[in-house]
Structure 1
Amino acid sequence: MRLMTVAELNNYIKEKLEGDLFLNNIWLKGEISNFKFHYSGHMYFTLKDAQATIKCVMFRSRCSNLKFLPENGMGVVARGRVGVYERDGQYQLYIEEMQPDGIGTLYIAFQQLKEKLEKEGLFDQKLKKKLPRLPKRVAVVTSPTGAAVRDIITVLHRRCPHIEILLIPVAVQGENAPPEIARAIEMVNAYGQADVIIVGRGGGSLEELWAFNTEIVARSIFASSIPVVSAVGHETDFTIADFVADLRAPTPSAAAELVAPNYLELVQRLAELQERLVLGINFYLQKNRNRLEVCMKSRVMSRPMDLIQSLVQKLDYTVARLEQAMRGFHREKASRFQVACAGLNNLNPLATLERGYAVCRDKVTGSPKTTISQFRVGETVEIILRDGLVDCTVERTEEGNS
Structure 2
Amino acid sequence: MPEEVYSVSEITADIRESLEDRFHEVWVEGEISNYRLPGSGHHYFTLKDASAQLACVLFKGAASRNPVKLGDGVQVQVFGNVSVYEARGQYQLIAQLVQPKGFGDLQAKFEALKRKLDSEGLFDPAKKVPLPVFPQTIGVVTSPTGAAIRDMLNVLERRAPWVRVIIHPARVQGEGAAEEIAAGVAAFDQMEAANRPDLVIVARGGGSIEDLWAFNEEVVARAIAACSIPVMSGVGHEIDFTIADFVADRREPTPSAAAENATPDGATVRRHLEILATALQTRASDSINRRMRTAESLRRELEAREPERRIQNWSQSLDYLGERLHGIVDTKLQRAQSEFQMVSRMYSAVQPEREIRVRREEIASFRDSLSKQVDRSLADRAYALHAMKELLRSLSPEAVLQRGYSMTLDEKGKLITSTDQIKSGDKLRTRLSDGEVSSVAE
Q: Confirm or deny that 1:282 pairs with 2:285.
A: yes
Percent identical across equivalent pairs?
Answer: 41
Which residue, 181, 194, 199 being the options, matches 1:196?
199
Instruction: Output the amino acid matched with 1:140.
Output: V
Are the equivalent residues in 2 in contact too, given 1:33–1:72 (CA < 8 A)? Answer: no
Give the structure 2 partner of residue 150 of structure 1: 150
Which residue, 241, 244, 248 being the options, matches 1:245?
248
Distance, in Å, in 2 between the alignment partners of 1:303 and 1:141 is 77
Give the structure 1 partner of residue 159 of structure 2: 159
Give the structure 1 partner of residue 168 of structure 2: 168
Are the equivalent residues in 1 in contact too, given 2:25–2:80 (CA < 8 A)? Answer: no
- Determine helix, strand or coil for the equivalent of 2:190: helix
Instruction: Output the amino acid matched with 2:305.
Output: R
Q: Confirm or deny that 1:128 pairs with 2:128.
A: yes
Give the structure 1 partner of residue 81 of structure 2: 73
Shift of 1:210: 0.6
Shift of 1:236: 1.2
Instruction: Output the amino acid matched with 1:240.
Output: I
Give the structure 2 partner of residue 230 of structure 1: 233
- Determine helix, strand or coil for the equivalent of 1:165: strand
TM normalised by structure 2 equals 0.47
Q: Confirm or deny that 1:255 pairs with 2:258.
A: yes
Distance, in Å, in 1 between the alignment partners of 2:167 and 2:209 is 25
Are the equivalent residues in 2 in contact too, given 1:35–1:46 (CA < 8 A)? Answer: no
Cα offsets for 1:15-52 (capped at 9, x unmatched) = xxxxxxxxxxxxxxxxx97599xxxxxxxx776889xx
Shift of 1:295: 2.5
Distance, in Å, in 1 between the alignment partners of 2:158 and 2:137 is 15
Pick closer, same or farther for the CA change 1:33–1:308 going to 2, 3 Å.
same
Which residue, 207, 210, 221 being the options, matches 2:210?
207
Which residue, 305, 308, 312 being the options, matches 2:307?
305
- Determine helix, strand or coil for the equivalent of 1:138: strand
Shift of 1:294: 2.7
Pick closer, same or farther for the CA change 1:211–1:266 going to 2, 3 Å.
same
Instruction: Output the amino acid matched with 2:296.
Output: E
Q: What is the aligned residue count?
A: 229
Pick closer, same or farther for the CA change 1:49–1:133 going to 2, 3 Å.
closer
Instruction: Output the amino acid matched with 2:122.
Output: L
Cα offsets for 1:248-298 (capped at 9, x unmatched) = 011111111121222222222211111111111112122222222332333
Instruction: Output the amino acid matched with 1:73.
Output: N
Give the structure 2 partner of residue 266 of structure 1: 269
Instruction: Output the amino acid matched with 2:81.
Output: G
- Determine helix, strand or coil for the equivalent of 1:273: helix
Give the structure 2 partner of residue 347 of structure 1: none
Pick closer, same or farther for the CA change 1:48–1:137 going to 2, 3 Å.
closer
Cα offsets for 1:2-26 (capped at 9, x unmatched) = xxxxxxxxxxxxxxxxxxxxxxxxx
Are the equivalent residues in 1 in contact too, given 2:25–2:81 (CA < 8 A)? Answer: no
Shift of 1:131: 1.2
Are the equivalent residues in 1 in contact too, given 2:234–2:255 (CA < 8 A)? Answer: yes
Query: Where has structure 1 moved over 4 Å in runs of 4 or more?
Result: 32-36, 45-50, 98-102, 306-309
Are the equivalent residues in 2 in contact too, given 1:35–1:72 (CA < 8 A)? Answer: no
Are the equivalent residues in 1 in contact too, given 2:129–2:230 (CA < 8 A)? Answer: yes
Shift of 1:183: 0.9
- Determine helix, strand or coil for the equivalent of 1:257: helix
Instruction: Output the amino acid matched with 1:228.
Output: V
Distance, in Å, in 2 between the alignment partners of 1:291 and 1:34 is 98
Pick closer, same or farther for the CA change 1:240–1:33 going to 2, 3 Å.
farther
Are the equivalent residues in 1 in contact too, given 2:79–2:98 (CA < 8 A)? Answer: no
- Determine helix, strand or coil for the equivalent of 1:248: strand
Q: Give unpaired runs (5+ residues) of structure 2.
A: 1-18, 30-64, 67-77, 83-96, 312-442
Q: Confirm or deny that 1:184 pairs with 2:192.
A: no
Distance, in Å, in 2 between the alignment partners of 1:107 and 1:305 is 96
Instruction: Output the amino acid matched with 1:148.
Output: A
Distance, in Å, in 1 between the alignment partners of 2:152 and 2:256 is 5
TM normalised by structure 1 equals 0.52
- Determine helix, strand or coil for the equivalent of 1:296: helix
Instruction: Output the amino acid matched with 2:293.
Output: N
Pick closer, same or farther for the CA change 1:34–1:190 going to 2, 3 Å.
farther
Pick closer, same or farther for the CA change 1:164–1:101 going to 2, 3 Å.
closer
* Coordinate RMSD, CA, aligned: 3.1
Shift of 1:307: 8.1
Shift of 1:242: 0.3
